[in-house]
Structure 1
Amino acid sequence: MTEDTDAVRTFGGGDGRDAWAKLRDPEYSDDRTEKATTSQQHDTDDPHTQVEWYTPPYPPTNLALLLERSETHKACVHAKAQGVSGYGFSIVPHEQTDADSPPGEETIREFWHGADSTFQLGPDEQPASPAAVLEQSEVDYQSIGYSAIEILLNDTTATPTGLAHVPAHTIRKRRGDPGYVQVDPDTDIIEGYYAPAGARFGDKQVFIDADDGSVGSSVADVDTPANELLVERNYSALAPHYGIPDIVPAMQTLLGDIAARQYNVRFFENDAIPRFAVIVEGGELTEDAWTELEAKFDDLRADENSHRGVILEAVSGAAASFEDAHNVSLRIEPLTVGVEEDASFIEYRKENEHDILKAHAVPPVIANRTESVNYANAEAQRQEFAQSTVRPRQQQKAARLFETLHRTMLGVDGWTIDFHLHGGENEERQAKVDKLRIEGTAGVMTVDEARQEIGKEPLGAPLGNMLVSELTASNALGGETDDDSVDEADTEAAAPDYAIPTSADD
C-alpha cells in the first residue's frame, strides 16, 4: 500500500482553497465521479522524539520482557497464538467466488507448500513451516501489539517466494517516507529498511533501498530493492502506527503480581523474618547501631533484601555499674504474626491472575487454573475461548493474508486460507456418537466403512471388506474398545443413523 502523502499535502496545506477550486473547474468534472482511493486523514501522531520513525507508545522491548516475568501472561499469549495459527490451515475457495474450482489454486499451493518456497524464523534464517512463521508473528501481535512478517521476493520477477518472521520489537514505522526501519532495540541504530506490503504491485509502484532507505518508482532507482513487510496492528486510537497489546489495561495488575512474587521470594530467602520493631531496655543503642537502623528503615521498601536482619549493639548508661550492664535487653518484636498477611497475599495474587486472564479474554482452564473447574464447565470454557477469542482473530488474519498476499501480490482472488480451529467442537461427544453409529450398524458395516466414520485410512481387501461384526473392534479399528457409557442425549443424537440398511451396499 502506498503512502497517501499527496492527498494530505493537497488538502491540508496552505493551498487548500486553490485545490478545491481546481476540483470545481469543469476541466476536472469527469474525475469527480471516480471512486476515492486515498484517505484524507491527517497524521496527528507526532511525538517529536525521532526524526526517522514514529516512537511506539510503549517500549516494545519492555512489553516483550513481560512474557518472561509473568507466567500467567505468557500462558495467555501462547495459548492465543497457538490457537490462532499453530494448528495449521487449509487452502479453500474464497467464500465470494462463484466457481466450484476457481483458477489460481496451483499458484497458491505452490507458494505455501511448494518445494521452492522458503519459510524462516528470525535473523538466523531458521527453516520453519508456514504455520510456525504465522504462530511466531501472532506471539508478537498478542504481546507487543503488532506483528511483522517479511515477504521474500524473487529479485528478478518480484514474485513472492516465502515468508520470514521478523521480531516485531525491532520494527519502527518510518516518518515521512513509506515503509519501515529495523533498529537495534538497545541503541536505536538503524539496521535496514523494508517496503510496505504490496508496494510494488499497485498502480503507483514504490521501491525502497534496503540499505539506505531511498525511495524510487522503479527497480532501477534503488541499488538493493528491499523486501516487503506485512505489519498487523492490534488497533488502538492512540497508537495508529503500532497498536497496543491486550495486556496494557491490566499493566498495573501485572506489575503488582510481579512485585508480589518478588516480595515472596525475598521473604523466604531471608528466613521469613517479618517486618519488626526494635526495643531496647536498660540501655541505649550505639551510634553505629542507630545509623544502621535509620538507614535500614529508610531503604526498607526499596531494598532488594528488605527482610534481612540487622545486627545492633546496645550499651548501658555511663553511670551504670558493671552489674547494671548485664540488665540491658534488646528485643525484636514482629509487627504482625503473618497469618493475616499470608491470606491477603494469596488473595491478592488470585485477583491479579483473574484480571490478567480477563484482559486477554482467556478462561481459567486455558491457563491451567483448575481450582474451580470441573469436566462440564471446562469443555464449555474451551469452546467459548475457541469461538469468541480465537476464531474472530483467525478470520481477521486470514483476510489480511488474502487481500495482501493472495490477491494483490500473487494475483489470485479465488482462493484463501482457513485456519484450523482446535476445541471449537465437543470432540469427545462426537467420538462417542461415531462409536454408537458404528455399533448400531455393525452387522452390515464393513471395516473400511467404519474406519472412514472415525477418520482413519481404509485397510483394503481382504480385511477392509469384512463386516465389523466378524472382527473385534480392537483389531479392526486400530484402537481399544471404549466401554464408557453414553448418556441419553448422545444416544438420541446418533439415533437417526442407527437404521440398518437392507444390504451392505446401501
Structure 2
Amino acid sequence: MTSKLIDSVSKAKSIPIRKDITTENNKIVGSENLRRDLTLLSAPYDLTVLRTIGETSDILNQCIEAYAQNVAGFGFELKYNEDDREESAEMKSEWDALDSILHDLSLDRPAKEIIAECVRQTEETGNGYLEVIRNGSGDVVGINNLDAEYMTATKINRVTDSGGNTRRVRYFVFRDTLDDSGRVNGTWFKMFDDPTPLNVNGSIAENGNAGTATEVIQFKIGDYNKPYGVPRYIGALIKILGNRKADELNYSYFTQGRHMPLAIVLENAQLTAQSEATLQQYANDVSSQSAQQHKFLLVEAEKVGSEESMLGDDDKTKPAVHFEHLADVLQKDALFLEYNDNAVKRVLSAFRLPPVYVGLSSDYNRATVETAKQLTEEQVFQPLRESYGWQINNILKDYEFKHVHMRLKTPDIQNTEDIAAILTPAVNAGAVAPNDLRDILSKVLNKHLENFDGDQYNLPLNSASPSAVDVTKAYGGEPDGELSGMIRRLLRKAAK
C-alpha cells in the first residue's frame, strides 16, 4: 500500500491538450495581440493524492491546521496608514467602506475561513487558489476557494495592458466533471488583473467583448516562475508514509499476532483426553477468560509405552510435564517508536514549528513556550500573514483607499511579567503619563478604556507640577532624555 502511494504521489498525470479550442502550435485563433498559448502543464506530483496524505498521518494535519489557524484564524482588522493622524470624516468614511467590503466578501461563510482554507490547501499541495468575483461595474465584491487538485496551469504568456505595461500571466482550467461522452469538462480562469478577454470555454473574445472568465490568484510554495508549487513537507514524505506503515504493523500485532506466554512440554508422556479437551476449551473460549482469571489449571498426563516397559523405569524414561515461559520472546511494546518520534521531528522541522503548536509540550515550561511562540510568530506566521494580507489589499486597489488598509490579526503573545518589569522602573522614574497606560490596561482587563481628558494626563507624573515638567526630555528629544524616550516607544509598541 505504501509503495503504491509513493508511486502515485511522485508521478504527475499526463494532461491532454484542448484541441477543440487551439490551432497548430497550440495558438488561439484570433488577432495577433490576442493570441495565447494555452498548453496545459502537468504538476510534478499528484495533487489529489497529496490532499489525502494528511488522512493517514498523525502529525501532518496538526501542522497544517496550525498554519491555517495562526495565519488567518484570528480574522481581519483595519488600520489607518498614519496612526498618529487625527481621524477626519474622509478617513472614517473609508474605514466604514472597507469594513463593509471585507464583511461581505463571502455570503456563505466568514472571509477569514476562505483565507484559512486557501492556506490549508497551499500547505497540503503547495498550491492554493482564490477566485476573485467582480460585479457588473468591475468592482471586486467577493472571493471563493477553488480546489487545488482540479486546477491545471498553462505556459507563461506575456500580455500588454492599456497602459503599455507588459506582464507575465498564466491561465488555469478547473476540471472536475465529465460530459456525456466521458470527456473532462473544464472551466477556464485568468490571473488577477489580466486584461485578456478570456471566455470560460478557453476561447478569446473579440470585437471589444470583455470575456466571461473570472480571475484567480494562485498561492504557491517555492519558485514563483514554475507553474506549480511544492508542499514544504515533500522532503519528509517518506518519513510520513513510513510512520503510517509502522502504526499499521503495530495494529496488526494486536489483531492478528499470536500471544503465547506459555508452552506445555511433555516428555515420554501424552495428555489425557480430558486435559487436552480442557486446554483446547481454555484457548478457544475467549469470552469466559475474565471469569477464569482466578482459577487454576490442572494438567494430567500419562506415560507413553506398554505396561511391561513401565516396570523398569529409569530417569531417562520417566514421564514428565514442563511449563516453558515464552514471555521473553514476546513483543512487549510497539515497534519503531524511535522511528515514529524521528518522523514527527522531521515534519515539525519542515514546517518550522515548535512541538507546542501541535500539542507536544511535555518538555516545555512557561518561559520556553513564550520564547517559542515569539520566534515562530516572527519567522513563520507573520511573514505569511503579510503575504496573504497584501493579496487581499491588492484585489481591492481599484477602490483607491488612501487612508486605510486591512491586515490579518495577530495573537496577543505579550508577556505581562516583561511589561511589568519595564513599567515599574519607568513609573518610579516619572517617565510614564497616565494615558500611556490606558491601552495596556485595556488588553489586560479585556475592556476598552478611554483616555483621561486633560493635558495633565498626557504628561509624566512626578513631584513637580504639570506646568514644570520638561516634556522634551520625557519624549527623548535631548540626549539626557534617551532612556525616557526609549521607554515610551516600547510602551507604544506594546500597546499596538
Superposition TM-score, scaled by structure 1 size: 0.57
Quote the Cα distance in structure 2 between the aligned partners of 1:162 and 1:171. Answer: 20
Aligned with 2:144: secondary structure?
A: strand
Distance apart, 1:421 and its partner CA: 2.2
Q: Shift of the alpha carbon at 1:361? A: 0.5
CA contact (8 A) 1:406 1:415 kept: no
Matched, 1:421 2:413: no
Percent identical: 16
Quickly say closer, same or farther: Cα 1:387–1:168, change in 2 above 3 A. same
Amino acid at match of 2:153: K
Residues 71 and 126 of structure 1: CA distance in aligned 2, closer, same or farther (over 3 Å): farther
Query: 1:471 is matched with which residue?
Result: none
Q: Extract unaligned runs of 5+ from structure 1.
A: 1-12, 14-42, 44-50, 283-319, 322-326, 462-492, 499-506
Cα shift at 1:232: 1.0
1:265 is aligned to 2:251 = yes
Gaps spanning 5+ residues in structure 2: where? Answer: 1-24, 26-36, 158-169, 269-304, 307-319, 453-482, 489-496
Counterpart CA distance in 1 for 2:178 and 2:368 is 46
Cα deviation for residue 181 of structure 1 reads 1.3
> Are 1:241 and 2:234 an aligned pair?
no
1:164 and 2:144 matched? yes
Secondary structure (helix, strand or coil) at the match of 2:192 reads coil
**What is the aligned partner in structure 1 of residue 366 from structure 2?**
375
In 1: Cα distance, 2:233 partner to 2:244 partner? 14
Matches within 5 A, 1:199-238: 199-200=193-194, 202=195, 205-209=196-200, 212-216=201-205, 220=209, 222=211, 225-236=212-223
In structure 1, what is the Cα distance between the partners aligned to 2:343 and 2:427?
49
Q: Deviations over 1:27-86 (max 9, x none)?
A: xxxxxxxxxxxxxxxx9xxxxxxx963221111121111222223111111111221122
Answering whether residue 331 of structure 2 is matched by residue 338 of structure 1, we say: yes
Within the alignment, does 1:152 sit opposite 2:115 as a pair? no
Q: Identify which of 139, 142, 147 aligns with 2:120.
A: 139
TM-score for both structures, normalised by structure 2: 0.58
Distance 2:142 2:72 in 1: 17
Picking from 193, 197, 220, the partner of 2:191 is 197
Residue pair 2:426, 2:487 contacting (<8 A) in 1 also: no
Q: Which amino acid aligns with 1:392?
A: P
**Take 1:263 and 1:131, find their aligned partners in 2: how far apart are those partners?**
40
User: What secondary structure, in the 3-state scheme, does the structure 2 residue paired with 1:80 have?
Assistant: helix
> Structure 1 residues 353 and 115 mapped into 2: Cα distance closer, same or farther (>3 Å)?
closer
1:47-196 mapped onto 2 (5 Å cutoff): 53-92=40-79, 109=95, 112-114=98-100, 118-120=104-106, 126-128=108-110, 130-154=111-135, 156-174=136-154, 178-184=170-176, 190-196=184-190
Contact in 2 for aligned 1:196/1:229 (Cα 8 Å): yes
Task: Quickly say closer, same or farther: Cα 1:145–1:219, change in 2 above 3 A.
Answer: farther
State the secondary structure of the residue aligned to 2:187.
Answer: strand
Q: How many residues align?
A: 360
Q: CA deviation at 1:160?
A: 0.5
- Residues 325-346 of structure 1 deviation map (CA, whole Å, 9 limit, x = unaligned): xx9xxx998994324x64x622
CA shift in 2, pair 1:108/1:252, >3 Å: farther
1:119 is aligned with what amino acid?
A: L
Alignment-mate amino acid for residue 220 of structure 2: R
Name the SS for the 2:336 alignment partner.
Answer: helix
Q: CA deviation at 1:438?
A: 12
Partner of 1:312: none
Measure the CA separation in 2 of the matches of 1:104 and 1:171.
Answer: 42
Contact 2:151 2:173 (8 Å CA) reproduced:
yes
What aligned pairs does 1:287-306 form with structure 2 within 5 A after superposition?
Answer: none
Task: Give the residue type in structure 1 aligned to 2:347.
Answer: I
CA RMSD, aligned part only? 5.2
Structure 1 residue 426: Cα displacement: 2.9
Does structure 1 retain, via aligned residues, the 8 Å contact 2:130–2:144?
A: yes
CA distance in 2, matches of 1:105, 1:111: 10
The CA distance in 1 between the partners of 2:189 and 2:402, in whole Å, is 23
CA shift, 1:377, in A, is 1.0
Name the aligned partner's letter for residue 171 of structure 2: G
1:406 partnered with 2:396: yes
Q: Radius of gyration: which is bigger? A: 2
In 2, the alpha carbon distance for the partners of 1:137 and 1:77 equals 11
